[in-house]
């Protein structure tokens, strides 16, 4: 079975003696999968105005478990943002009623960002839609093939991102 990437690699392999054809095939196909995954995420979020980065904030809070709360510094680290960039992103999400920000009862200098009921509902709705989209993206693979691919990608991710986000709720 051949795809357009095979033709792309064959053409460039003739032109560029230094090109590693297997590496080129892998990276081009990863780009194709990423492009389709990004499109499916946009479709899954629908026309209600929720952006992927906003969904990612909701996801990060939901991942904390009840009461679905985290410090802004934890969120910034988890999302790979500066504190200022996070603050700018939290504003519209808070105005939409998806999160709340409240001062810590014991230390008024500390703030907690918490998933609001509407944010919980939005996460569930969009999370389910994304799950269905991602399932369709991987439908060509058998269960065993998905396991092999997941393992290979894990190995790459562990090499690229060996550090973890500190657990500073």
Helices (H), 16-51: 21-45
pTM of the model: 0.75
Query: CB burial class (10 A; 0-12, 13-18, 19+) of residue 129?
Result: middle
Residue-range definition of the domain harbouring residue 94: 50-169
Co-location of 54 and 39 in the same domain: no
Per residue in 148-157, pLDDT (tens digit) is 999 999 999 9
Co-location of 56 and 69 in the same domain: yes
Torsion of CA 157, 163, 168, 169, to 10 degrees: 0
Per residue in 11-24, pLDDT (tens digit) is 999 999 999 999 99
Number of domains in the chain: 2
State the pLDDT confidence band at 48, using cuts at 50, 70 and 90.
low
- Lowest-pLDDT range of 2-16, 80-94, 102-116: 102-116
Sheet of 111-115: strands edge to edge? 69-70, 111-115, 99-103
């Amino acid at each position: 079975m051949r795809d357009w990437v095979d033709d792309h690699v064959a053409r460039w392999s003739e032109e560029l003696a230094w090109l590693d054809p297997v590496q080129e095939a892998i990276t081009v196909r990863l780009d194709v999968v990423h492009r389709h995954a990004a499109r499916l995420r946009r479709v899954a979020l629908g026309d209600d105005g929720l952006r992927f980065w906003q969904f990612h904030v909701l996801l990060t809070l939901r991942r904390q478990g009840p009461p679905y709360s985290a410090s802004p510094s934890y969120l910034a680290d988890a999302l790979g943002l500066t504190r200022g960039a996070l603050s700018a992103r939290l504003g519209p999400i808070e105005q939409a009623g998806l999160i709340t920000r409240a001062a810590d009862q014991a230390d008024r200098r500390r703030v907690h960002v918490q998933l609001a009921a509407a944010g919980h509902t939005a996460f569930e709705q969009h999370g389910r839609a994304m799950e269905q989209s991602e399932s369709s993206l991987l439908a060509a693979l058998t269960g065993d093939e998905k396991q092999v691919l997941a393992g290979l990608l894990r190995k790459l991710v562990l090499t690229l991102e060996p550090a973890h986000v500190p657990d500073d709720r």
